[in-house]
Amino acid sequence: RWKKPVPPQRWNQTLDSTFFGPACAQKTTMYGTRRDPGPITGFSEDCLHLNVFTSRRCRESNSTCAVLFVIHGGVGIFESTMKFPDETLVRNFVSQDIVVVTTAYRLGM
């Protein structure tokens, strides 16, 4: 668990990145109270991911677009990037030509 991250293995085919990767392993109780992890669908130690949401204009033009880099809360113990539904990010930010980047990171347990 406490080893440094390793680079991913190379791949030759198209990488399907249309879904969130697994959430990092985390506690399911906080201060003795069980908590609902929300929309998390799986846990893994292989959980270091960036999710990038962008509009076609930002992707295909030479213009610059603002970037919103989101680090989820959870006091470093719980939650994941899945807390922010992609529909909400697209509707509120990407539709305004703001690139949104969310990150998954290992949580202290």
- pLDDT per position as a tens digit, 57-97: 998 888 899 999 988 765 555 566 666 777 888 899 999 99
Find the domain containing 97 and state its range: 23-103
- DSSP string covering 40-83, please? ---EES----EEEE--HHHHHSSS--EEEEEE--STTTS--GGG
Please indicate, yes or no, if residue 5 is contained in any of the structural domains. no
Q: How many domains does the chain have?
A: 1
Please indicate, yes or no, if residue 10 is contained in any of the structural domains. no
Please indicate, yes or no, if residue 108 is contained in any of the structural domains. no
- Rounded to two decimals, the pTM is 0.67
Quote the pLDDT of residue 18: 77
Please indicate, yes or no, if residue 109 is contained in any of the structural domains. no
Percent of the chain with pLDDT over 70: 65
Please indicate, yes or no, if residue 9 is contained in any of the structural domains. no
Q: How far apart are the first and last CA of the chain?
A: 11
Please indicate, yes or no, if residue 36 is contained in any of the structural domains. yes
Please indicate, yes or no, if residue 2 is contained in any of the structural domains. no
Contact between residue 43 and residue 86 where contact means Cβ atoms under 8 Å apart = no
Please indicate, yes or no, if residue 45 is contained in any of the structural domains. yes
